[in-house]
């Protein structure tokens, strides 16, 4: 196994693992802030997968330079940037809303936020 | 709600037809009965097979509208007099009154009671008096036959007398019925 | 049974006076101030749930009204009479109509007949038996019935003949009215 | 012209016959009770007295018209039924309608009387109407089933045709050809005549005399003559439907008399049903009897 | 330039506003309005340029490129013609709501503008990643707006939206990655290139995202909570901009998804429609109801994506989504922003129009799309068709309940009238405009009833019935305003109804008539419950009719299932056998003369429908005629008994109306000339007497203010003419000769006996005798007995009510004495249709059948002559009776204490009721509440999915994803 393929697989495994951990956390945690953390984890995983989607073996980073002859697909990396920015915004908003909601309900427990029902 | 008119004075009718009418009236006496105490009880045997008033054409009617004869039996109190007046006035002409028993006619043993009438004649025109305390059914039948005879002879004119002298009767009635709330005439 | 009732009443009301006692019957007399307490106690803790009657006796000589409440316990078929004496002038007795609604009728009757007032009775003053009575209440012993009757209803005619046939014959067909008199004179 | 004479005579004759039958029935009832009873002519005397009373009251237009309604309805039923079969002048108006028309025109008088009772403003009159209508709706069920069974069985609705189909001897009478339907109709005949045990409508004990409580004098005499006419009309109708009609006057009188005695006798020995009891009885017993023949006819 | 302006002006506005508000709120508002107006103008120009208003081809488009590169690095927008229409709606909605926002939360202007930008972007995006960006912007802004609104549960609503948007982000980005990895492209078209395992993954991921975003069942839970939690103004703006954009975006993406057979969308949609609407039945808060409605439209979108393609798909989706958004926007905007569940200060109508729009009632715009769409479904996908029909019916039920519950609190304000009228006119205009699209199913040719004679009878009936109701409309009580207008529309539609060409026209007129009457009923005082029942049953019969018509492809020559559906529709309209509930609730609630119209005239539309079905069938008979006759007979009996026991004048008339319609059914079921003669005769007769009775009731109500028997009685002294006309009608419908009613019974009985249907005959006869009970009850309870002091002030009914009654009473007399006038016309007409059986023979005044005879003229003469004779005889034979007062009764010597105490009216037929007590009490109401309970139970079962815990919604999405995966892999 080459270093490249090791990297490739570790990327895939880490990404998938992060997403799965994130989703698991989202579904099982009760504290609203922990859910926010889980989302962030999953987001990171997804971003990694985005990076993976443009990954080509034996290429360098897409930084245009005279020395670069072959680079990976630059597009996903650009997308990842966007996605990270958006992710940050979402996470920030989530935390704010979560904190205020937990103030309102007196607890950070997401199970307590069931006023809107039926 | 109530009709307040006074009745017209009835005219005098004579002739053959009136005689036939009187025959019919005499032979078809429909009775509405007012009774308290023993008076109400002694009247009932008349309908039984022993005395059988139906053979004279006498029948009990449950409503004054369809009756000809008002039988007043038992003592009359001021309170009940009001009802009796109303029943009597609601009977359609010609109509007759039979007063049954001593208490009815003159208060009987209740003569000194604070609410029993002593003299019925002041308040209603009685056609036939049947004495006794209490009169037997035979006596009542005797009274009926007397009434029938009076009707046939055209002498049973109590109702006319009442209508003609309504003011006099009203005055007497109002004297003892202190809370008079009946209309001028009970139609 | 009745012993227990008596005992309990005696414990509670030491001034109680025993009037009469039988195996299922007890008549006691209590102070007028504790009459209501006694009745309430009989109802709530002694099981006399039924009010049978309220009666009143005019003890004019003592210048008193004796009120008696007759209570019944249907579970062991015992009767309890509780009496109390009230002054005769402007007599006021507490009403029981909020405890036994049936008491309302008794109290209205006593009000009408004796003039005893029951403040608290929702229907006090409504006509019960006498309609439009204006004199002093008729069951008070200072009310003179015969005088009243003579005054209001007039004197009834005494019998003139001992022969009933003749007497009846006089009455038949005539009315004690101006018009009737006129006719008599015409005859 | 002959027709009109016949109509007038029919009305007068039916009135007298009805009053006479009523008097007879009073006597019979009295004899059953062990009494002597009134004269046979007592009903005529009563009628005359009522007619000649010198005052009366009324409560308004419908009160006024109710006796007229009653009498009109009764005469209409009377005229719709042929009296003597074979004598076409006594068919009166029966050409104008069939048995359905007779069934429905029977309601005319009842409605009029009910309206008069309603207009009288007397609660008892209206209670009686309520009972009477409830009972009527029940006996009409079995009666109409019986009529339909007979009419369909004989394949005609015309009363004339129904009578003509029964002229072949006693066994051709409908009471023998349709025994169950006849039984149903005859049970329905009792409440029609307000006979006990179905006499709750008039109930003189608790609701004074029922619908005509407020009627007096001449109004009442109209009511009574309406009742007499209606009774006669129903007798003739039943004789025509079940008992082979009448081929001559004698047989008409005899048959109606005998038929009239049937409710009288039943009535004088029975106590009274309550309204719902009588309704239920009428819904089940006569109806199921009549249904037997209806099913027979259908098959 | 225009293109760019159209899209990005709001964004510019947002930036300016974000910078401005602290400094001068007024300036920021001006900027917002400026930007929005300019944008709106630009969009309109674009739409004109694209030919959107011609409705020729809604997918014409232009490309708008921004930046230098190609997507996804820059944003390329494809502006379609249909999209511009949606964009106009979004702009307009934003402009409308900005004012409200400015009042409540002035700082939220940048958010609103950003939401609009995101919506426009999503609407026109051509690239998967671009869409992602817009989706995220939209979600963030929505959460922000929710958090900024002033309502109690905003945080919770926001947190749920945030949870879901988080999950959507993850799933969506996964899909993007897989797609890019597999194709190297991110345009929408790239979705078609992907294959193999990646295709499945992309498909399920995107489908889950779409279903979650459009809030289709089963992933609708968060949307419901969101709609309920946020303020009505945010919800309104949201549904008109963002929700619309998402729906149209989904409509764009769905056909491109690499999924094997798109029919799976239809199944998801249809099942979701049924289940979500079941759950919706129990919803109580307004926001939640709107959420369920949104879910319904999302499901419809799925069904459309699964079953249609091409231009038809585009136009169906565009019309459905745009107008449903408009409706929801108006509903939310009409709510008071301060108190979320209070609707006040505007006309009922203004509130009703969007509801009718959502329910797809003709001639409002959605109807056309729904009709064409359902026609398409009916022709190819019957099971889905039934499911969609059922779902739509359920939606209509809770929408109407929603409206009736809200309109209780509604006060009418004339200031709102112009806007209400404008709204109606706009919608009608839109409707006309939309019919210009090429809907395959719309066709107006043909003729449902060939026989001109029959047609003319019904034309005449409807016209006369409507006209006679009109004079009385000016005698109104209190707030019962303007129902005359709806009566007129309903009547006009009815009058044209017999000339209808085919199923579509018929359905159109039928529904216009029904719902115009619904609006009319709603004008009554305290009529909300009655209106609700009427609306629900009108929808039920409407959908049944629609189902029948569509299944038989618009023609009335039908058999089998369509014929049965249509027959049931007619039975529901007539209120037969259990469905009488709506009559009994609606007629008492309806104002003024409207009940007369509904019972007398409108119910005859159902007769017309049955006649049309029968006439067009091969044997000129209804399917299962015997069953129909039995239904008619049993209804006649049950209705009569219920009428006898009814405690209210109008309620009794309603029961009686149902009962009498049963006779028409008996006649129609017969399929013989006699039966049909009886049916048509009775139709005419029923119109006459029922209108007279209800007009009388209107007069009584007008003069006394009540129709309860307990409060009435003795009115004959005050209203003699009303009594006289009522008496004539009553004698007639109790079928007592010599008036008209006897004729119909006689003809019917002859017909029944001719066919040998004796059991039906017996039940019918019994019913007619029971009718006698209530006919007396009616006369006595209102007019006879003692006059209550409460009504001492009553006067005779006003002339506009009396004159029609007089005319109708005269008609009864004429028809009663000379029925041959009608029969001479009717019998030849019916003979031509090809019915079985022998026609009655008419000789002069004599009517002969094989078994019976009837001479109405002679009977009439006899009755009148005898009556007159008896009267005259009484008059001349003695003294005149004395007229006495009403309390002068022989009452055991007592003076009756008061008129009320001697008036016997309460529990009138109690003995009858007691005699009936052996029957098990089968109340139709119980059956219906059983149905209601069952549906509620099912609804509760479905609702149990929506626990209110945000994480369950995420779990739903993931489970949905897994199920899709399993299903698609198994399927492939």
- Claim to verify: residue E775 and residue E805 sit in the same structural domain: yes
- Claim to verify: residue E519 and residue E644 sit in the same structural domain: no
Residue D213: which residues within 8 A CB-CB, separation 6 or more?
Answer: B63, B65, D117, D120, D122, D124, D125, D128, D207, E889, E890
Q: Taking CA atoms, what residue in D is nearest to E757? A: D298
Residue C126: which residues within 8 A CB-CB, separation 6 or more?
Answer: C108
At CB < 8 Å, which residues of chain C contact B?
Answer: 127, 129-134, 138, 143, 145-146, 148-150, 152-157, 164, 168, 171-173, 175-180
- Tell whether the model's pLDDT for residue D44 goes beyond 90: yes
Please, what's the b/e burial string for E394-411 (b: 16 or more CB within 10 A of its CB; e: otherwise)? bbbbbbbbbbbbbbeebe
Decide if E835 contacts E676 (C-beta within 8 A).
yes
- Tell whether the model's pLDDT for residue E554 goes beyond 80: no
- What tokens appear for B23 in the block? 């025959």
Q: Assign E953 a pLDDT band (cuts: 50, 70, 90).
A: confident
Euclidean distance between CA atoms B98 and B105, whole angstroms: 10
B177–C132 C-beta distance less than 8 A:
yes
A23–E958 C-beta distance less than 8 A:
yes
Q: Taking CA atoms, what residue in B is nearest to C128? A: B79
Mind listing the domains of chain C with CATH numbers? 2-127 (3.30.460.80)
Residues of B in contact with E903 (CB under 8 A): none
Least trusted range by pLDDT, from B67-76, E40-49, E143-152: E143-152
pLDDT score for C69? 94
Give the model confidence (pLDDT) of D219-270 as tens digits. 999 998 999 999 999 999 999 999 988 888 899 999 999 999 999 889 888 8
- D-contacting chains (≥3 CB pairs under 8 Å): B, E
Is the N-terminal amide bond of E521 cis, ω within 30° of 0?
no
- Claim to verify: residue E580 and residue E686 sit in the same structural domain: no
C145–B112 C-beta distance less than 8 A:
yes
C156–B111 C-beta distance less than 8 A:
yes
- A-contacting chains (≥3 CB pairs under 8 Å): E
Shortest Cα distance, chain C CAs vs residue B43, angstroms: 21
| Domain contains E863 | no
* Structural domains of chain E, count: 3
> E708 forms bridges with which residues in the sheet?
E648
- Claim to verify: residue E352 and residue E490 sit in the same structural domain: no
Shortest Cα distance, chain D CAs vs residue E662, angstroms: 18
C-alpha closest to that of E584 among E523, E512, E635: E635
Q: For chain E, positions 910-949, list CB contacts with chain A under 8 A.
A: 943, 946-949
Q: Which of A32, A43, A100 sits opposite E170 (nearest CB)?
A: A43
- Look up the ipTM and state it: 0.84
Q: What is the mean pLDDT of residues E615-623?
A: 75
- Contact of E878 with chain B, judged by CB distance below 8 Å, is answered with no
- Claim to verify: residue E430 and residue E461 sit in the same structural domain: no
C-alpha closest to that of B65 among B84, B85, B87: B87
Euclidean distance between CA atoms B16 and B26, whole angstroms: 15
Q: Which of B49, B63, B68 sits opposite D213 (nearest CB)?
A: B63
Euclidean distance between CA atoms E44 and E46, whole angstroms: 5
The percentage of chain C sitting over the pLDDT mark of 90, rounded to a whole number, equals 32
- Claim to verify: residue E574 and residue E664 sit in the same structural domain: no
Q: What is the mean pLDDT of residues E931-952?
A: 80
Angle at D111 between CA D107 and CA D113, to 5 degrees: 120
Q: Is C59 helix (H, G, I), strand (E, B) or coil?
A: strand
E774: part of which helix (H) or strand (E)? helix E758-782
| Domain contains E443 | no
Q: Which fold has domain B16-176?
A: Rossmann fold (3.40.50)
- Phi/psi class of residue E554: alpha, beta or left (left: φ > 0; alpha: ψ in -120 to 50)? left
- Contact of E167 with chain A, judged by CB distance below 8 Å, is answered with yes
Shortest Cα distance, chain B CAs vs residue C148, angstroms: 6
Domain boundaries, chain B: 16-176
Residues of C in contact with B166 (CB under 8 A): none
Euclidean distance between CA atoms E60 and A42, whole angstroms: 40
- Tell whether the model's pLDDT for residue A87 goes beyond 80: yes
E742–D93 C-beta distance less than 8 A:
no
Q: Do chains B and C touch (3 or more CB pairs under 8 A)?
A: yes
Distances (CA, A) of C54 to C97, C104, C107, D273: 11, 10, 7, 42
Mind listing the domains of chain A with CATH numbers? 3-61+68-112 (1.10.287.3510)
pLDDT score for E408? 52
- Tell whether the model's pLDDT for residue E379 goes beyond 90: no
B92–D53 C-beta distance less than 8 A:
yes
Higher pLDDT, D148 or B41: D148
To test the contact with chain E by mutation, choose from B1, B7, B184 the residue with the greatest count of E C-beta atoms within 10 A, namely B1
Interface B:D, Cβ pairs < 8 A? 83
Residues of B in contact with D212 (CB under 8 A): 66
Angle at D289 between CA D284 and CA D290, to 5 degrees: 105
Euclidean distance between CA atoms E350 and E352, whole angstroms: 6
- Tell whether the model's pLDDT for residue E933 goes beyond 90: no
Give the model confidence (pLDDT) of E711-749 as tens digits. 888 889 899 999 999 999 999 988 888 888 898 899 999
Shortest Cα distance, chain B CAs vs residue D131, angstroms: 18
Least trusted range by pLDDT, from D266-280, E176-190, E777-791: E176-190
Q: What is the mean pLDDT of residues E168-188?
A: 86
- Tell whether the model's pLDDT for residue A60 goes beyond 80: no
Residue D87: which residues within 8 A CB-CB, separation 6 or more?
Answer: none
- Tell whether the model's pLDDT for residue E345 goes beyond 50: no
Least trusted range by pLDDT, from A19-23, A111-115, B85-89, E884-888: A111-115
- Contact of D144 with chain E, judged by CB distance below 8 Å, is answered with yes
Q: Taking CA atoms, what residue in E is nearest to B82? A: E893
* Long-range Cβ contact pairs of A43-46 (< 8 A, separation 24 or more): A43/A83, A43/A87, A43/A90, A43/A91, A43/E166, A43/E169, A43/E170, A44/A18, A45/A14, A45/A15, A45/A16, A45/A17, A45/A18, A45/A19, A45/A20, A45/A21, A46/A15, A46/A19, A46/A83, A46/E169, A46/E170, A46/E173, A46/E174, A46/E177
To test the contact with chain B by mutation, choose from E714, E879, E884, E897 the residue with the greatest count of B C-beta atoms within 10 A, namely E884
| Domain contains E842 | no
- B-contacting chains (≥3 CB pairs under 8 Å): C, D, E
Give the model confidence (pLDDT) of E651-700 as tens digits. 999 999 999 999 999 998 888 888 899 999 999 999 999 999 999 999 99
Domain boundaries, chain D: 2-298
Mean pLDDT (chain E) is 83
Shortest Cα distance, chain E CAs vs residue A58, angstroms: 17
β-strand pairing of B30-35 with B59-60:
parallel
Q: Assign E203 a pLDDT band (cuts: 50, 70, 90).
A: confident
Q: Hunting for tokens 């919800």 — which residue is that? A: E235
Which residues span the domain enclosing E741?
A: 620-837+879-919
- Contact of D296 with chain E, judged by CB distance below 8 Å, is answered with no
- Contact of E776 with chain D, judged by CB distance below 8 Å, is answered with yes
Angle at E869 between CA E863 and CA E871, to 5 degrees: 100
Decide if E131 contacts E187 (C-beta within 8 A).
no
pLDDT score for E921? 66
Q: Taking CA atoms, what residue in B is nearest to D51? A: B21
Q: Which of D35, D39, D57 sits opposite B187 (nearest CB)?
A: D57
- Contact of E887 with chain B, judged by CB distance below 8 Å, is answered with yes
- Tell whether the model's pLDDT for residue C173 goes beyond 60: no
Q: Is E25 helix (H, G, I), strand (E, B) or coil?
A: helix
Q: For chain A, positions 24-43, list CB contacts with chain E under 8 A.
A: 26-27, 32, 35, 39, 42-43
DSSP for E914-944 reads: HHGGGS----HHHHHHHHHHHHHHHHHHHHT
Residues of B in contact with E890 (CB under 8 A): 63-65, 87, 90
- The separation between the first and the last C-alpha atoms of chain A, rounded to the nearest angstrom, is 56
């Amino acid at each position: 196994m080459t270093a490249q393929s090791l990297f490739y697989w570790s990327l895939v495994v880490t990404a998938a693992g992060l997403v799965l951990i994130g989703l698991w956390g989202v579904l099982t945690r009760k504290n609203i802030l922990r859910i926010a953390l889980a989302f962030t984890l999953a987001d990171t995983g997804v971003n990694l997968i985005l990076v993976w989607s443009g990954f080509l073996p034996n290429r360098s980073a897409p930084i245009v330079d005279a020395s670069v002859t072959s680079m990976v697909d630059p597009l996903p990396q650009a997308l990842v940037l966007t996605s990270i920015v958006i992710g940050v915004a979402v996470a920030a908003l989530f935390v704010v809303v979560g904190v205020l909601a937990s103030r309102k309900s007196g607890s950070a427990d997401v199970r307590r936020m069931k006023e809107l029902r039926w | 709600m109530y009709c307040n008119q006074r009745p017209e004075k009835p005219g005098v009718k004579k002739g053959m037809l009136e005689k036939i009418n009187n025959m019919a009236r005499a032979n078809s006496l429909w009775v509405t009965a007012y009774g308290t105490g023993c008076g109400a009880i002694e009247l009932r045997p008349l309908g039984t097979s022993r005395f059988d008033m139906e053979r004279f054409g006498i029948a009990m009617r449950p409503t004054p509208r369809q009756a000809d004869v008002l039988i007043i039996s038992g003592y009359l109190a001021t309170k009940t007099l009001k009802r009796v007046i109303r029943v009597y006035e609601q009977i359609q002409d010609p109509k007759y009154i039979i007063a049954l028993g001593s208490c009815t006619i003159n208060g009987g043993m209740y003569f000194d009671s604070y609410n029993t009438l002593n003299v019925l004649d002041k308040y209603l025109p009685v056609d036939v008096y049947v004495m006794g305390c209490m009169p037997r059914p035979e006596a009542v039948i005797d009274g009926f036959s007397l009434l029938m005879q009076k009707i046939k002879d055209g002498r049973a004119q109590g109702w006319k007398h009442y209508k003609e002298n309504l003011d006099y009767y009203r005055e007497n009635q109002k004297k003892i019925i202190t809370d008079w709330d009946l209309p001028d005439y009970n139609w | 049974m009745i012993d227990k009732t008596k005992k309990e009443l005696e414990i509670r009301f030491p001034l109680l006076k025993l009037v009469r006692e039988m195996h299922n019957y007890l008549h006691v007399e209590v102070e007028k101030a504790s009459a209501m307490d006694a009745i309430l106690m009989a109802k709530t803790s002694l099981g006399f749930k039924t009010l049978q009657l309220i009666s009143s006796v005019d003890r004019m000589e003592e210048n008193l009204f004796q009120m008696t409440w007759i209570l019944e316990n249907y579970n062991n078929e015992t009767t309890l009479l509780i009496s109390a004496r009230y002054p005769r002038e402007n007599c006021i007795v507490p009403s029981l109509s909020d405890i036994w609604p049936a008491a309302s009728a008794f109290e209205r009757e006593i009000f009408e007949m004796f003039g005893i007032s029951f403040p608290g009775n929702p229907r006090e003053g409504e006509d019960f038996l006498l309609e439009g009575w204006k004199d002093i209440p008729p069951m008070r012993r200072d009310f003179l019935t015969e005088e009243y009757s003579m005054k209001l209803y007039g004197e009834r005619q005494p019998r003139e003949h001992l022969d009933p046939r003749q007497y009846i014959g006089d009455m038949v067909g005539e009315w004690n009215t101006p018009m009737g008199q006129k006719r008599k004179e015409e005859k | 012209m002959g027709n009109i004479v016949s109509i007038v005579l029919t009305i007068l004759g039916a009135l007298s016959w009805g009053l006479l039958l009523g008097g007879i029935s009073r006597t019979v009832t009295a004899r059953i009770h062990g009494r002597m009873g009134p004269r046979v002519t007592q009903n005529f005397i009563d009628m005359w007295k009522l007619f000649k009373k010198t005052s009366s009251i009324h409560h308004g237009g419908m009160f006024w018209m109710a006796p007229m309604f009653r009498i009109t309805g009764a005469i209409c039923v009377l005229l719709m039924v042929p009296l003597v079969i074979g004598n076409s002048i006594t068919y009166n108006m029966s050409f104008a309608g069939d048995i359905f028309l007779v069934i429905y025109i029977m309601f005319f008088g009842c409605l009029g009387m009910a309206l008069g009772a309603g207009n009288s403003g007397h609660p008892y009159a209206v209670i009686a109407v309520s009972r009477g209508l409830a009972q009527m709706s029940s006996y009409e069920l079995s009666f109409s089933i019986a009529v339909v069974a007979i009419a369909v069985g004989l394949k005609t609705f015309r009363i004339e045709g129904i009578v003509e189909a029964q002229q072949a001897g006693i066994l051709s009478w409908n009471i023998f050809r349709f025994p169950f339907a006849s039984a149903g109709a005859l049970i329905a005949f009792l409440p029609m005549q307000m006979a006990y045990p179905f006499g709750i409508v008039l109930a003189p004990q608790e609701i004074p005399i029922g619908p005509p409580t407020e009627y007096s004098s001449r109004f009442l005499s109209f009511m009574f003559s309406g009742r007499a006419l209606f009774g006669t009309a129903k007798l003739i109708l039943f004789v025509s439907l079940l008992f082979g009609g009448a081929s001559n006057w004698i047989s008409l009188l005899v048959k109606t008399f005998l038929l009239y005695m049937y409710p009288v006798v039943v009535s004088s020995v029975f106590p009274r049903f309550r309204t719902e009891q009588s309704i239920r009885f009428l819904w089940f017993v006569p109806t199921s009897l009549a249904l037997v023949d209806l099913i027979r006819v259908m098959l | 330039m225009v293109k760019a302006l159209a899209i990005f002006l709001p964004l510019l506005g947002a930036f300016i506003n974000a910078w401005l508000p602290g400094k001068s709120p007024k300036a920021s508002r001006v900027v917002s309005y400026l930007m929005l107006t300019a944008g709106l103008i630009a969009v309109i120009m674009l739409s004109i340029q694209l030919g959107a208003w011609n409705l020729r081809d809604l997918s014409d488009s232009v490309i708008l490129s921004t930046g230098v590169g190609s997507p996804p690095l820059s944003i390329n927008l494809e502006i379609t013609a249909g999209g511009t229409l949606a964009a106009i709606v979004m702009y307009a909605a934003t402009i409308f709501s900005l004012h409200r926002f400015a009042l409540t939360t002035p700082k939220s202007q940048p958010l609103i503008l950003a939401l609009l930008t995101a919506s426009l972007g999503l609407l026109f995006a051509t690239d998967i990643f671009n869409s992602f960006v817009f989706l995220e912007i939209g979600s963030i802004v929505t959460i922000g707006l929710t958090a900024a609104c002033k309502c109690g549960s905003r945080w919770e609503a926001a947190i749920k939206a945030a949870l879901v948007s988080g999950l959507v982000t993850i799933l969506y980005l996964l899909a993007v990655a897989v797609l890019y990895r597999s194709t190297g492209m991110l345009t929408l078209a790239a979705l078609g290139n992907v294959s193999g395992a990646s295709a499945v993954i992309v498909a399920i991921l995107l489908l889950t995202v779409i279903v979650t975003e459009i809030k289709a069942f089963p992933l609708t839970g968060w949307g419901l909570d969101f709609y309920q939690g946020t303020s009505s103004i945010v919800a309104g703006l949201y549904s008109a901009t963002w929700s619309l954009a998402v729906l149209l975006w989904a409509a764009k993406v769905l056909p491109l998804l690499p999924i094997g057979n798109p029919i799976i969308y239809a199944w998801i949609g249809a099942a979701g429609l049924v289940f979500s609407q079941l759950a919706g039945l129990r919803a109580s808060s307004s926001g939640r109801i709107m959420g369920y409605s949104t879910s319904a439209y999302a499901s419809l979108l799925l069904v459309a994506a699964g079953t249609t393609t091409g231009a038809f798909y585009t136009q169906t989706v565009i019309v459905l989504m745009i107008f449903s958004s408009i409706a929801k926007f108006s509903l939310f905007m009409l709510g008071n922003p301060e108190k979320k569940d209070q609707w006040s200060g505007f006309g009922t109508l203004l509130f009703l129009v969007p509801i009718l729009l959502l329910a797809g009632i003709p001639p409002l715009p959605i109807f056309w799309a729904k009709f064409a769409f359902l026609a398409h479904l009916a022709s190819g996908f019957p099971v889905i068709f039934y499911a969609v029909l059922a779902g739509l019916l359920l939606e209509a039920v809770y929408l109407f309940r929603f409206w009736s519950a809200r309109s209780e609190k509604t006060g009418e304000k004339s200031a709102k009238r112009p806007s209400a009228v404008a709204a109606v006119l706009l919608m009608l205009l839109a409707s006309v405009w939309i019919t210009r699209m090429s809907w395959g199913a719309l066709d107006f040719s043909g003729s449902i009833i060939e026989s001109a004679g029959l047609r003319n009878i019904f034309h005449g009936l409807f016209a006369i019935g409507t006209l006679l109701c009109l004079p009385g409309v000016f005698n109104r009580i209190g707030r019962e305003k303007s129902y005359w207008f709806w009566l007129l529309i309903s009547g006009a539609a009815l009058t044209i109804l017999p000339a209808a060409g085919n199923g579509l026209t018929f359905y159109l007129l039928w529904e216009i008539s029904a719902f115009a009457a619904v609006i009319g009923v709603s004008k009554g005082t305290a009529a909300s419950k009655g209106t609700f029942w009427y609306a629900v049953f009108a929808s039920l019969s409407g959908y049944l009719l629609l189902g029948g018509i569509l299944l038989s492809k618009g023609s009335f020559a039908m058999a089998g299932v369509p014929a049965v559906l249509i027959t049931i529709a007619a039975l529901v309209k007539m209120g037969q056998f259990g469905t009488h509930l709506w009559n009994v609730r609606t007629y008492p609630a309806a104002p003024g003369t409207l009940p007369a119209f509904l019972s007398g005239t409108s119910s005859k539309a159902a007769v017309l429908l049955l006649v049309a079905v029968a006439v067009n069938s091969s044997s000129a008979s209804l399917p299962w005629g015997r069953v129909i006759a039995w239904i008619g007979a049993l209804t006649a009996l049950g209705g009569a008994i219920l009428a006898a026991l009814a405690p209210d004048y109008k309620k009794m008339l309603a029961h009686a109306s149902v009962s009498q319609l049963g006779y028409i059914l008996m006649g129609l079921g017969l399929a013989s000339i006699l039966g049909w003669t009886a049916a048509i005769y009775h139709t005419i007769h029923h119109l006459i007497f029922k209108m007279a009775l209800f007009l009388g009731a209107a007069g009584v109500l007008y003069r006394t203010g009540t129709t309860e028997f307990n409060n009435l009685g003795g009115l004959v002294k005050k209203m003699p003419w009303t009594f006289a006309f009522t008496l004539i009608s009553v004698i007639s419908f109790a079928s007592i000769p010599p008036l008209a009613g006897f004729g119909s019974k006689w003809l019917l009985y002859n017909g029944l006996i001719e066919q040998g249907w004796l059991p039906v005959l017996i039940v019918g006869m019994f019913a007619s005798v029971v009718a006698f009970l209530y006919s007396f009850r009616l006369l006595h309870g209102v007019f006879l007995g003692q006059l209550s002091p409460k009504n001492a002030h009553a006067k005779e009914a006003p002339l506009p009510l009396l004159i029609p009654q007089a005319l109708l009473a005269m008609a009864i007399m004429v028809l009663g004495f000379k029925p041959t006038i009608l029969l001479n016309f009717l019998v030849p007409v019916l003979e031509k249709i090809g019915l079985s059986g022998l026609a009655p023979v008419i000789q002069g005044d004599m009517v002969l059948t094989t078994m019976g005879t009837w001479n109405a003229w002679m009977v009439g003469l006899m009755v009148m002559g005898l009556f007159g004779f008896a009267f005259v005889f009484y008059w001349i034979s003695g003294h005149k009776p004395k007229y006495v007062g009403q309390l002068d009764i022989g009452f055991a010597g007592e003076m009756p204490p008061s008129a009320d105490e001697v008036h016997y009216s309460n529990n009138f037929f109690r003995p009858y009721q007691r005699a009936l007590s052996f029957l098990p009490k089968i109340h139709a109401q119980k059956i219906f509440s059983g149905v209601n309970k069952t549906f509620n139970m099912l609804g509760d079962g479905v609702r149990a999915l929506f626990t209110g815990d945000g994480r369950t919604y995420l779990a739903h999405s993931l489970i949905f994803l897994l199920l899709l995966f399993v299903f698609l892999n198994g399927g492939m």
